[in-house]
Amino acid sequence: DGGITQSPKYLFRKEGQNVTLSCEQNLNHDAMYWYRQDPGQGLRLIYYSQIVNDFQKGDIAEGYSVSREKKESFPLTVTSAQKNPTAFYLCASSIGGQGLETQYFGPGTRLLVL
Amino acid sequence: AQSVAQPEDQVNVAEGNPLTVKCTYSVSGNPYLFWYVQYPNRGLQFLLKYITGDNLVKGSYGFEAEFNKSQTSFHLKKPSALVSDSALYFCAVRDIRKTGRRALTFGSGTRLQVQP
């Protein structure tokens, strides 16, 4: 899993609650990514950031928000607008943001709804 | 749009036999292609990638993949499977011409089961 840490490992969300997933990297990578993994659907891109203070929506950004105030950190907030948040969330980073660089993944956070 | 298909949900192979995990892609230009592996409850690990050059790409743990432009495929292969190769394998693509979205599109994954 390289130099990327995600916390917590498991997260429980109550109805109507916003929760934030942490992602930190010490690889000095410019680009960072958030993916959602559901069984049989592979990875779907939520948001990505090519550089500090900039980020773009991926395929399934609705109900999620991100920030990129520091190079090392790319937290993901799952808002109450996300009606089906139960999934495995993976953060990744790459040295550049052109899409051809190798991505390094964190160990993931499993989000469950109470 | 860029897309990638992994037609097999699961591949079963006996230890010591060769293995193939299939991947086909669709892009408007030339592709960048990747294979990643995921062990249970873990993040993905990079195996290999094709950017340009030789169509046969060699990667980690004895895996290799062949880029076939006419068949738009990038199948993952290994001459002799190990039980420890059992995992979930993902193919991913990025269209070289795409200037907007600079991110990969992943396939749905193929579970490889190697029997002892």
- CA A80/CA A83 separation, integer angstroms: 7
Amino acid B81: pLDDT: 97
Query: What does the DSSP 8-state code read for residue B11?
Result: E
Query: Does the CB of A61 have a partner CB in chain B at under 8 Å?
Result: no
Closest residue, chain B, to A46 (C-alpha): B103
- Could you read off the pLDDT of A54-80 as tens digits, one per residue? 999 998 999 999 999 999 999 999 999
Residue B104: what pLDDT? 84
Task: State mean pLDDT over A24-48.
Answer: 92
Q: Is the pLDDT of residue A110 over 90?
A: yes
Residues B45, A92: C-beta atoms closer than 8 Å: no
Give mean pLDDT, residues A18-22.
96
Low-confidence ranges of chain B (pLDDT < 50): none
Compare CB distances from B49 to A43, A90, A102 and report the shortest one's residue.
Answer: A102
Question: What pLDDT, on a 0 to 100 scale, did the predictor assign at position A1?
Answer: 47
